[in-house]
Structure 1
């Protein structure tokens, strides 16, 4: 089956988990009304369902062939991108001063989920442009903004992020690309970059590359990196000295061109400085933080698509006789193990969606009176949104193949493509291991640990709400979720103490399980919060069966998935000794 955007579930999460109602009531969403938000979601779903989703398989099969420096995107890609741009979707949350609608990032997050669920390869193009818009808007000169932002916000042009080089993956200190002042305010850029998403394509006439490079005599390491805007086509209409030198042949996202880029073969590509010299990393992180949340949303998206496909197959496929069945062969959805897999997929997807939407809401709140506190909350949640969601995407798409059985291993069902596409998500925009390090080493110490303590307190508040509700439909949810949160609290104390006691290796050894633990506790709290809203609706007389399903999903997550929390806690508290034995254990 083709993807169908779950608009009702997305809207419910926006309103009752991420706080869209409160943002609108408090004036934090500008002139946006709930009716407007619903209309936007409905129209976005129409585009995703009818225009983008039908292209997903075509993109996977066609790929992005490179010939004589030019890339041909898959059939239908140009028309779909044109419809996307003409609908104003590229500028949904863009700055109003440059033609954007400046709507909440929270609403844009839901739309971004739809584009990427319909086709991950297609959704990557506007994802990178959004990051470029934010970096240029925050750090670019007025001249650069005037020249480029309008066209980027509209989607007439696209943007890329050029970090990685053959010898420098995640270690940006090893970058070798060079920049030389040209004497007229511009610079000449030389060097090679790899893994550049949509570095070349035929969707737009111009591509605006944001490129990290070093000035002569710049300080060593990351302190000597500057950021430059290097367009494919120069303001005078001539072609810049840059080219796509190769295209990667990848495990997945075949419809998205992943390019090797060469700058300055003819003497130097013309570029302009963004921000200050040797301060490029700070500018690039603006773009990367935007991208990290959007990659988390990609994880939600591909997990949702896999869950929908597995559910549809499980309802149709008959195999074996389920307990109590009268027919000789039952739909496999009636077997307990298949139900367990499907519920794991659905609950994991919903938990990841809640975390990503919470992160987007915090970014919106950071622009208002809450300011720094909301910014710090968003900073804390961003690595969790990126890593937890994309780890789950890999697990959910793998379960999707398992639900399909042998047919999942066959390309024609589409389950295999989702698994292949999802695999990159835990790798790019900072591997999930790097996200875990960021969470533990940089985000936990924010405000002396007060930011993470406040977030844990908010999770405890949800548990108190479940206890107060007292509905038997929640089962043991409150107890299991409370245990997960207390495990998180103790693990947090351990990690902070290790950092302040000059034991960084111990803290980092437990970073990945700590991020997983955080995700389980926060994800469980998100589902429980949705369940509480659903319970209130039922008590108020609403009869929508989706409400009972939301409570059941919250209960499943708490009683079957969040129960891993105590084990993760013990790994964090007691498992760091492996760093002492690693060389011995890995010697042979």
Structure 2
């Protein structure tokens, strides 16, 4: 399926109701985000994504990225589409105005990525990583580094990457071995020689951008062990001359591309730095404080990966609905006649399609609620900042789980044809499956929720969120009960539960929390539509919201027992007896 119809009306509803864009526009910083501009951006990027990125989705999956003599090649059309993306300024939506950006809310940057990613998830990983690099340099770079790197990153002429993982380290970033040796004399005095290998580097090598700005974690000589001894370095593919133009190639290279389950058009690179002991990098921020600086980029990326769950859900839902409307098979049960009907008329297919719709819209509501809190936090609202921090693991974990589930249902709607690659339904599932894994597995997100986020602001950040849900859900007994169940689990985890107990129940608790917030935000959408917002959704939103509140919310409530079961049973068998 090459077509993509942007969900413009539902996106605008979420941006207005869940993110509260009109309230954001009342601030001096975001005053430009007036209704007309917001609509123009959402409609414009949707049309761009459908016209430029969507037609490349299938060919990208079939042909993929190829490494030829150290150069990554993409299928025909990718360079033109990326050039159009840069030319139209979509990369600059929320970037700082001082460096060529438009300075608009992060919420609108999320919408750009949502549309691009629904059209072509693998391709959209390229600008997604650049957004994170921009934020890391903006927050932690020197004035000279900002002036040198940000204008080109903001425009999209250059792209950015994040380099954490090494073969022996995996998710244990503290185990990395890449080194950074200070240069004390010569033309590069004050900089560092970078040496080491990084794996799983998304868009680590390609020819679509003029330069690639790698952000690399490495250790200085005599640095402390573990995460306390990590520093962050900016390592460009091409050196920069004094006037900012490109110079010679730096001593770094892509030595191989990973052969993956999905996102085949996204080159996932094994990168070598300093094979010839000539790789030059610059320190960003303070020595041994690199993980803190990189976390700025990681937090951004986790929101954007949660967004990918929405993206792939929307695309899979659209394809499944199109197929169900076209595929004629069997008479409807109980019908007076025996004429076959489109499978969309069969009750179980209708159930699957409504579940896809409700989950997609719920995840979208959570995405924009989170984005709106991030925007408020950037304006100095500390309560919103803390709430945004609580929401990030919910969005990343549950949002990406939703992406996998909805893509899987899409295959099921296609029946046997879904298992056949020619239909393209399987691509959505294969692409979606990486999202619960990278940028911190969903288990790591859940662990973050029950450790750092559970105690944030003395526990008030999480409990205040649940209090707000319970207050607003007075007329929705299932949702109110789920909020109260979440509060009971949270209090148990803050009280009697051991660390092992909390971690053992972290994943079901994370799901409970995410569904509670998503249901709350869908309820707000439904009420806004009833009051006259989004007339185009007047007949659909009440149904999808009701499905979520009466079908999906009770499922999440059923996870309470698992969340509070403790860790004892998990260790009832020694590791060697698990296979017995």
What range is the shorter-chain TM-score in?
Answer: over 0.9
Which residue, out of 350, 354, 365, partners 1:354? 365
Q: Is the 8 A contact 1:535 1:548 kept in 2?
A: no
User: Structure 1 residue 376: deviation in Å?
Assistant: 0.8
Residue 514 of structure 2 corresponds to 519
Give the distance between the partners of 1:504 and 1:246, measured in 2 at CA: 40
Q: Is the 8 A contact 2:218 2:230 kept in 1?
A: yes
What secondary structure is seen at the aligned counterpart in 2 of 1:215?
coil
User: Structure 1 residue 369: deviation in Å?
Assistant: 4.2
2:254 aligned with 1:253: no
Which residue, out of 337, 348, 356, partners 1:337? 348
Q: Is the 8 A contact 1:338 1:403 kept in 2?
A: yes
Residue 300 of structure 1 corresponds to 310
Q: Is the 8 A contact 2:194 2:218 kept in 1?
A: yes
What is the correspondence of 1:86-485 to structure 2 with a 5 Å cutoff?
Answer: 86-183=87-184, 184-236=189-241, 237-325=247-335, 326=337, 328-370=339-381, 372-464=382-474, 467=475, 478-485=476-483
What secondary structure is seen at the aligned counterpart in 2 of 1:305?
helix
User: Structure 1 residue 285: deviation in Å?
Assistant: 0.3
Give the distance between the partners of 1:275 and 1:127, measured in 2 at CA: 22
What do residues 528-547 of structure 1 show as CA deviations (whole Å, max 9, x unaligned)?
A: 11111112228xxx8x4622
- Higher alpha-carbon deviation: 573-582 or 12-21: 573-582
2:578 aligned with 1:580: no
Residue 492 of structure 1 corresponds to 490
Give the distance between the partners of 1:330 and 1:112, measured in 2 at CA: 37
Residue 28 to residue 569, structure 1, CA distance change in 2 (3 Å) = farther
What do residues 170-190 of structure 1 show as CA deviations (whole Å, max 9, x unaligned)?
A: 001110000100011100000
Residue 71 of structure 1 corresponds to 72
Give the distance between the partners of 1:41 and 1:481, measured in 2 at CA: 31
Q: Is the 8 A contact 1:157 1:204 kept in 2?
A: yes
Q: Is the 8 A contact 2:4 2:54 kept in 1?
A: yes
User: Structure 1 residue 21: deviation in Å?
Assistant: 2.3
What secondary structure is seen at the aligned counterpart in 2 of 1:209?
strand
Number of equivalenced pairs? 568
Structure 1 unpaired stretches of 5+: 468-477
Residue 160 to residue 483, structure 1, CA distance change in 2 (3 Å) = same
What do residues 29-88 of structure 1 show as CA deviations (whole Å, max 9, x unaligned)?
A: 222211110011111011101111001011111111111110111211000000000010
Q: Is the 8 A contact 2:18 2:372 kept in 1?
A: no
Give the distance between the partners of 2:408 and 2:13, measured in 1 at CA: 27
Residue 45 of structure 1 corresponds to 46
User: Structure 1 residue 318: deviation in Å?
Assistant: 1.3
Which residue, out of 525, 538, 542, partners 1:551? 542
Q: Is the 8 A contact 2:91 2:154 kept in 1?
A: yes
Structure 2 unpaired stretches of 5+: 242-246
Give the distance between the partners of 1:195 and 1:551, measured in 2 at CA: 42
Give the distance between the partners of 2:27 and 2:194, measured in 1 at CA: 47
What do residues 7-44 of structure 1 show as CA deviations (whole Å, max 9, x unaligned)?
A: 01100111122212222245562222111100111110
Give the distance between the partners of 2:472 and 2:350, measured in 1 at CA: 27
What do residues 94-130 of structure 1 show as CA deviations (whole Å, max 9, x unaligned)?
A: 0111000011011111111001000001100000000
Residue 114 to residue 545, structure 1, CA distance change in 2 (3 Å) = closer
Give the distance between the partners of 1:258 and 1:521, measured in 2 at CA: 35
Give the distance between the partners of 2:483 and 2:254, measured in 1 at CA: 49
What do residues 150-192 of structure 1 show as CA deviations (whole Å, max 9, x unaligned)?
A: 1000111000001010101100111000010001110000000
Q: Is the 8 A contact 1:160 1:197 kept in 2?
A: yes
User: Structure 1 residue 268: deviation in Å?
Assistant: 3.4
Q: Is the 8 A contact 1:314 1:403 kept in 2?
A: yes
Q: Is the 8 A contact 2:9 2:537 kept in 1?
A: no
Structure 1 segments of 4+ aligned residues over 3 angstroms from their partners: 25-28, 323-327
2:580 aligned with 1:570: no
Q: Is the 8 A contact 1:91 1:99 kept in 2?
A: yes
What secondary structure is seen at the aligned counterpart in 2 of 1:102?
coil
Give the distance between the partners of 1:239 and 1:205, measured in 2 at CA: 12
Give the distance between the partners of 1:417 and 1:255, measured in 2 at CA: 12
TM-score by length of 2: 0.96
Give the distance between the partners of 2:33 and 2:128, measured in 1 at CA: 23
Give the distance between the partners of 1:578 and 1:126, measured in 2 at CA: 44
User: Structure 1 residue 462: deviation in Å?
Assistant: 2.8
Residue 244 of structure 2 corresponds to none
